[in-house]
């Protein structure tokens, strides 16, 4: 335009040529600052390390453990636990799994963050990861899905669409080379995924397609970061597309989950138990296999078998806090308060700041009618975890048994402050008020409990 103006004599021959910034150039971010790619990578690694520390020395996690920590699993996700569509992206089943995904994220994330900017990159990453989770649940709701690969495929799809449809100051050779590399990455990963069992290809495809849509829309409609309203509009459109897909999957698969859920969970659990039994027979000294088998037994209500496996874990690893905590809980469930107390007392001696151990010990004392000791242990839990839910309620019940009605009322009110209204809590509070002769307050609490019950039925 400047050249044509000069040709018409409208511009001086000595006018400086304006150098316009390219829409995709990275601006306004310090090259020395921590990138969002590094933050995401660190978050994935931190979650993996935390799971290793919490679940034992093994670097391979069972399906039961993954579900407990937030894996995407149809019967749970489609039953209202939609947060699993986010949490599953930060979970990985093994060391090899996370190592490969983080290697891919390091390369593709850096390229996408440079191209789109930090916050657009973050939204594309999370949205395509969610889309991958929706596709996984839709294709096979009984398959358990974890890993960042859905979001990584989403980044790959977005980059392909943006490089193909966008306008760049880079030469065509560089663009074509990058496109070829991305296409090879997608093709090789899909090929290898089809060759090995257990790879969630539906998640990969869902992430890829949503990434292609997002990248194409950004390239055509909102390439310039200086026009954020366009970017926001494009990303909101992608959000609506993903939400529409989730709603469709819910209508399609949700009705099937109700009838198939119990059967699928039982079959999966039985397969898991069978595999773990084989692993235990092959290596009886593998404490992690015994621990996983115990948890699988617990999930299928085979409590006696779980107890046997947990005892074996503690025989092999006497310092295994998780196994001792589970064994204590199993004893509580079987109304074996003395045995439970013994396990929790050992754990408290090992780990004085373990709030769960103090809580279990308090419940053991409560079951043995030793309410004074139970109250002291509940106070230890409150000291270690001031916001722990249910502790003040249990402490109030023990205080009520000892006729410490003022303390019981204070505990129940503190529980209400922390966790909100609950009909059982209101009834306990009503009993404490009644024991104090506070008839009107007692009746008000009972009325509120009845109203809360009615609300639950509605």
pLDDT value for 458: 45
Residue 377 C-alpha from the chain's centroid: 31
pLDDT value for 56: 63
Across 339-354, b (16+ Cβ under 10 Å) vs e yields bbbbbbebbbeebeeb
**Which residue ranges of the chain lie beneath pLDDT 50?**
28, 30, 258-259, 261-262, 457-458
- Bridge partner residues of 72 (DSSP): 145
pLDDT tens readout for residues 312-333: 999 999 988 888 998 998 899 8
- Bridge partner residues of 73 (DSSP): 144
Residue 308's contacts (CB-CB under 8 Å, 6 or more residues apart) are: none
Share in percent of the chain as helix, strand, coil (round to 5): 75, 0, 25
pLDDT tens readout for residues 45-86: 999 998 888 766 667 777 767 888 888 888 788 877 889 999
pLDDT value for 262: 46
Using CA atoms, how far apart are residues 309 and 297, in angstroms rounded to an integer?
A: 9
- Bridge partner residues of 144 (DSSP): 73
DSSP run (H or E) holding 324: helix 321-333
pLDDT value for 129: 94
**What are the residue ranges of helices labelled H in 166-299?**
172-195, 201-221, 228-282, 287-299
pLDDT value for 362: 94
Using CA atoms, how far apart are residues 120 and 112, in angstroms rounded to an integer?
A: 9
Domain annotation for the chain: domains and CATH numbers = 36-262 (1.20.1540.10)
pLDDT tens readout for residues 158-206: 998 988 887 655 555 556 666 777 777 787 777 766 665 567 788 999 9
SS3 72: strand
Complete DSSP assignment for 114-156? HHH-HHHHHHHHHHHHHHHHHHHHHH-TTSEE-SSHHHHHHHH
Using CA atoms, how far apart are residues 306 and 302, in angstroms rounded to an integer?
A: 6
pLDDT value for 28: 47
Using CB atoms within 10 A of its CB, is residue 147 exposed (0-12), middle (13-18) or buried (19+)?
A: buried
């Amino acid at each position: 335009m400047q050249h044509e103006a000069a040709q018409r004599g409208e511009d001086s021959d000595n006018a400086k040529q304006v150098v316009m910034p390219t829409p995709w150039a990275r601006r306004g971010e310090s090259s020395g600052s921590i990138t969002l790619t590094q933050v995401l990578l660190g978050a994935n690694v931190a979650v993996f390390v935390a799971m290793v520390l919490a679940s034992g020395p093994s670097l391979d996690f069972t399906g039961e453990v993954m579900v407990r920590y937030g894996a995407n699993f149809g019967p749970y996700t489609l039953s209202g636990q939609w947060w699993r569509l986010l949490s599953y992206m930060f979970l990985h089943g093994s060391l090899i799994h996370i190592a490969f995904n983080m290697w891919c994220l390091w390369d593709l994330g850096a390229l996408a963050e440079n191209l789109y900017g930090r916050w657009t990159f973050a939204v594309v990453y999370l949205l395509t990861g969610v889309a991958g989770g929706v596709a996984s649940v839709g294709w096979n709701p009984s398959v358990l899905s974890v890993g960042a690969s859905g979001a990584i495929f989403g980044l790959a799809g977005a980059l392909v669409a943006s490089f193909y449809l966008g306008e760049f100051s880079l030469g065509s050779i560089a663009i074509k080379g990058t496109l070829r590399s991305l296409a090879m990455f997608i093709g090789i990963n899909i090929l290898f995924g089809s060759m090995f069992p257990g790879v969630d290809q539906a998640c990969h495809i869902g992430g890829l397609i949503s990434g292609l849509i997002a990248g194409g829309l950004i390239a055509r409609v909102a390439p310039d970061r200086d026009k954020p309203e366009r970017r926001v509009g494009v990303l909101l459109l992608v959000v609506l597309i993903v939400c529409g897909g989730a709603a469709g999957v819910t209508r399609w698969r949700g009705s099937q989950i109700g009838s198939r859920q119990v059967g699928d969970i039982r079959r999966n659990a039985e397969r898991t138990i069978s595999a773990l039994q084989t692993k235990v027979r092959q290596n009886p000294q593998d404490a992690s296999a015994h621990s996983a088998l115990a948890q699988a037994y617990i999930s299928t209500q085979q409590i006696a078998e779980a107890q046997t496996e947990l005892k074996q874990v503690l025989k092999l690893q006497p310092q295994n806090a998780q196994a001792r905590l589970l064994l204590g809980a199993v004893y509580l469930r079987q109304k074996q308060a003395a045995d439970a107390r013994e396990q929790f007392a050992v754990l408290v001696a090992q780990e004085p700041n373990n709030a769960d151990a103090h809580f279990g010990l308090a419940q053991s004392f409560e079951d043995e009618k030793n309410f004074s000791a139970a109250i002291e242990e509940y106070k230890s839990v409150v000291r270690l975890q001031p916001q722990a839910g249910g502790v003040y309620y249990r402490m109030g019940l023990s205080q009520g048994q000892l006729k410490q009605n003022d303390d019981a009322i204070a505990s129940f009110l503190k529980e209400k402050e922390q966790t909100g209204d609950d009909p059982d809590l209101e009834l306990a509070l009503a009993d404490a008020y009644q024991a104090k002769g506070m008839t009107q307050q007692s009746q008000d609490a009972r009325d509120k409990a009845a109203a809360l019950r009615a609300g639950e039925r509605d």
